[in-house]
Amino acid sequence: MYYADLTPCSYGSGRESPLIPEKWQVPLLAVGWLDRGHGHPQGEAPPELRPALLEMIESARSLFSHLGYRGLHTCSFCLADGVTERIATSRVNLLIPGDGVVWAATGGILHYLDAHAYLPPQPFIEAAVACPEYGSPAWFAALTETNAGVQPPVRLTSDWLAELRARPAARKES
C-alpha cells in the first residue's frame, strides 16, 4: 500500500479501524508507506528515531493486536533487486500525536529506514521521538489533546476483547 508522505491516510475499513480520516478531528497523515516507482527522501535519520519506533511497534503488537492487518507486505524495493523481503513489522500500524495532526505510520517504516535510507519528514521525526509511551494513559491523553480534545477512535486489545465477550451476555439478557 502506497501513500505519499504528508497526505491523508485512509487504510482499512470497518468500525474498529482508526486509520480512517473521518474518525479524526485533525488530519490523519501518512508517513512511511513506501513503494518502488515513487521516490522517497533519503538521508540519515537521527539515532533516537529507530529505537523510539521499535518500542512503539512492540507495544502496538501487544496492546493493539486487533488493529493489525493480516499478511505481511513484500518490499518492492528489495523485490526489484531480486530479494523477496517480507517485512515482519508491516502488519502493525502506528498512530503518533503531532502538532495539529495525527501521524499514521506503517510498522514497515523500520525496514525502510534500515534498508533503503528512508528519511521521514522532520515534523514526524520530532513527534515520534517525543511520543509518550505507546498505549499508555499519557499517549491517550496526547492523542486526545491533538484530536481537538475528542477521544481518539482507538481502544486497547483488552477493552476490545472485553466488549466482544460482553456482547453475547447482553443478547441473552434481552
Looking at the domain assignment, is residue 3 inside a domain? no
> Which residue segment(s) compose the domain that 152 sits in?
21-173
Looking at the domain assignment, is residue 16 inside a domain? no
Please list the ranges in the chain whose pLDDT falls under 50: 170-174
**In this predicted structure, what is the pLDDT of residue 15?**
66
pLDDT in tens, 143-166: 999 999 999 988 776 665 565 566
Report how many domains make up the chain: 1
- How far apart are the C-alpha atoms of 81 and 63, rounded to whole Å? 35
The pTM assigned to this predicted structure is: 0.85
DSSP one-letter code for 151: P
Looking at the domain assignment, is residue 65 inside a domain? yes
